[in-house]
Structure 1
Amino acid sequence: MSKADALGGSSTFDAVAQPMSSRAASFAAFAGQSAAPDTRTPSENVTHSPRLNVEELAPNPYNPRETLKAIEEMADSLTGRGVIQPLTVVTRQAFLRAHPGHEAQIGSATYVVVDGNRRLAGAKLAGLDQVPIHLDDTLADDADTLLESALTAAVQHENLDPLDEAKALQRLVEVHGSQRAVARALGKSSPWVTQRLALLKLSPDLQTAVEDKSLPVEVARRVGQLPTQQQHAAAEEAMNERKVRSRKRAESKSANAVSTPPSPRAEPLRAEGRDVTELAASLRQRLTSEQLDDLVALLTPR
């Protein structure tokens, strides 16, 4: 039975059904990449992108974002044109197959959001009735696949908080078994993963400093790779170096902004008793090259 048949042959879904090649196509959708041409029959791994009522959707209980921030700003941005990027969802049945016994967490919702929880919250706050969705139950084959789907989507969002990103990567390491495997899955380098995971090794107060942005994340990633007892001193030293560099840049910028002082006002020239050579030498001493060019232009017959 096809997925459309399993969903009851909804005319909404049938009207917008578009075949996708595989689970990999769904990950490509997360990254905004085009999927490879589909070579399968319509009955295999069919995906859909209709619009659904927000009441039919439940946020993902395993959302890598521990808190959904700036929902008001998201709602403001959605008020004009609505949600443009579809939310990636799985059916209630697929979610419960991967996480049996979690009915209470999703309530009566028909679908569970894998990627787009913040957009869903913003849409509700903005009073939108419907949102576009991308449905693919292959993202919920089992608990690990569902977790990997949500985490991969979350990490690919540039606005994911650094600590949330680090926690998502750590959970991906647990799924894939190694940092190198995670790097391959995300199309990143192993050092990229290592640097971000270093935030989880920071002392609690330094993690708090990262959250409130008093400790730059670039500094925190370097410091996190040091033993705990060395982290505070290293962080303080790095911040002091940044302040010195910042002050020097400001001083250099200020110095460059000061215009070249004007040449002293030249005394009136007296040509009496001087030959042309002496007069030219005097002019070269008193006038800039631009001023000399202007003088020559004035004296040259037209």
Structure 2
Amino acid sequence: MSKADMLGDSPTFDAVAQPMSSRAASFARFSGQETEPAVGRQETLRMPVEGLAHNPFNPRVELRSIDELADSVASRGIIQPLTVVTRLAFLDAHPGQSELGRAAFVVVDGNRRLAAARLAGLDDVPVHVDDSLAESADILLETALTAAVQHESLDPLDEAKALARLVEVHGSQRAVARALGKSSPWVTQRIALLKLTPELQAAVEDRSLPVEIARNVGQLPAQQQKDAVQEALEKRAQTKERKRAQTAKGANAVSTPPTDAGVDVPEQVSTPVRILPPTSDASSVASDVPRVLQPASPQVQSPWDDGNKVADLVFEKMSASQREVLLERLLAAQGRD
């Protein structure tokens, strides 16, 4: 039993439960917001490449990076089907359009994929046919613009132009943001690129001006933009240099283990030093350079308990004249005893 059956007839419920318009329904399906399956919707088909035409109102000013995409298509094929409308539906929305050639279908979403398929030499490609996307020129334009904006590979200036045209269709930036599931500042910042001076727009195109800086500067008056860009680029360079210096400092830092980290540090042993008295002996002076500070010779323990050893030690250290003096002193001491 449906909710309407359970609630019964009610003017209020009937007003709320009105079906979506064909315009809203088709746009919801394309944007992935559909909650119920579409009745009679066609499945994926295979269409010959020569039977497809590019959308003359494609928001992409230039189809770029086709060579790289063609390499992928040649090896893996086209994974995401192209969204197309019939020639008749397209001409109903745009009478008198003569750029379709003899194609039976017009690509609404997938113009880069079609170009890559042709370059890769594919015979056919997968497509979804949905003529409800071409019920009017506005719906067709809205669908193509939304598809372009949702592709991340869209160039910043092409994206800005597509958003600006969507504002014309929806009437406000807030409505565009709501339709795309984005915030109003997101839309405002991107459209701001169109307010840049021609010189700065060219810098965005050749990627010499970062798009993040350009979007902020685009919201300033034209006469302030050049100085603002210079200041922003200088700050950006300083930030990069600071980060690079910090990285280099971290890479070259040497950690010193703490003293209590369990590492045994050998103790320094100092050599005893003795002060030499002044001497007039030239040979002694020559051998004592420097003579003020000189390592002391090892001290010998005197054997005082053994007279013979004491005598040997003393005589060894004395000259002959000094030994005679010592003997005289010893004899004199013995005589006094």
> TM-score, structure 1 length as denominator?
0.76
Match of 1:217 among 193, 211, 224: 211
Alignment match, 2:83: 88
Match of 2:74 among 75, 79, 87: 79
Q: Residue deviations 1:269-302, cap 9 Å, x none?
A: 489xxxxxxxxxxxxxxxxxxxxxxxxxxxxxxx
Q: Given residue 171 of structure 2, which amino acid in structure 1 is its aligned partner?
A: G
Match of 2:154 among 157, 160, 166: 160
Distance 2:107 2:70 in 1: 18
Distance 2:107 2:131 in 1: 11
Q: Tell me by how many angstroms 1:24 deviates.
A: 3.9
Consecutive unaligned residues of structure 1, counting only runs of 5 or more, are: 1-20, 272-302
Distance 1:235 1:39 in 2: 50
Alignment match, 1:57: 52
1:179 aligns with 2:173: yes
Alignment match, 1:279: none
SS of match in other structure, 1:134 = strand
Question: Which protein has greater RCO, CA pairs closer than 8 Å, 6+ apart?
Answer: 1
**Cα pair 2:47 2:127 within 8 Å, conserved:** yes
Q: Residue deviations 1:86-107, cap 9 Å, x none?
A: 00000000000000000x2111
1:144 aligns with 2:138: yes
Structural RMSD (CA): 2.1
Q: Tell me by how many angstroms 1:258 deviates.
A: 1.5
- Once the two structures are superposed, the pairs formed by residues 125-274 of structure 1 within 5 Å of their partners are 125-261=119-255, 268-269=266-267
Q: Given residue 79 of structure 1, which amino acid in structure 2 is its aligned partner?
A: A
Moved over 4 A (4+): 261-267
Distance 2:192 2:167 in 1: 13
Q: Tell me by how many angstroms 1:268 deviates.
A: 2.7
**Cα pair 1:48 1:136 within 8 Å, conserved:** no
Q: Residue deviations 1:163-208, cap 9 Å, x none?
A: 0000000000111111111111111111111000000000001001
SS of match in other structure, 1:105 = coil
Give the count of matched residue pairs. 242
Q: Residue deviations 1:186-233, cap 9 Å, x none?
A: 111111110000000000010010011110000000000000000000
Task: Indicate how the Cα distance of structure 1 residues 224 and 186 shifts in structure 2: closer, same or farther if over 3 A, else same.
Answer: same
Alignment match, 1:120: 114
Task: Indicate how the Cα distance of structure 1 residues 234 and 93 shifts in structure 2: closer, same or farther if over 3 A, else same.
Answer: same
**Cα pair 1:65 1:160 within 8 Å, conserved:** yes
Distance 1:234 1:87 in 2: 42
Distance 1:247 1:69 in 2: 33
**Cα pair 2:27 2:139 within 8 Å, conserved:** no
**Sequence identity percentage:** 60
1:69 aligns with 2:68: no
| Range moving further from structure 2, 250-259 or 122-131 | 250-259
Q: Residue deviations 1:45-90, cap 9 Å, x none?
A: x233101000010000000100000100010010112101000000
| Range moving further from structure 2, 179-188 or 242-251 | 179-188
Distance 2:26 2:38 in 1: 13
Q: Residue deviations 1:106-162, cap 9 Å, x none?
A: 110000000000000000000001110011001101111100000001000111100
**Cα pair 1:26 1:136 within 8 Å, conserved:** no
Task: Indicate how the Cα distance of structure 1 residues 170 and 39 shifts in structure 2: closer, same or farther if over 3 A, else same.
Answer: closer
Task: Indicate how the Cα distance of structure 1 residues 218 and 206 shifts in structure 2: closer, same or farther if over 3 A, else same.
Answer: same
Q: Tell me by how many angstroms 1:260 deviates.
A: 1.6
Distance 2:195 2:28 in 1: 34
> TM-score, structure 2 length as denominator?
0.68
Alignment match, 1:23: 26
**Cα pair 2:87 2:106 within 8 Å, conserved:** yes
Distance 1:39 1:115 in 2: 19
Alignment match, 1:10: none
Alignment match, 2:36: 37
Larger Rg: 2
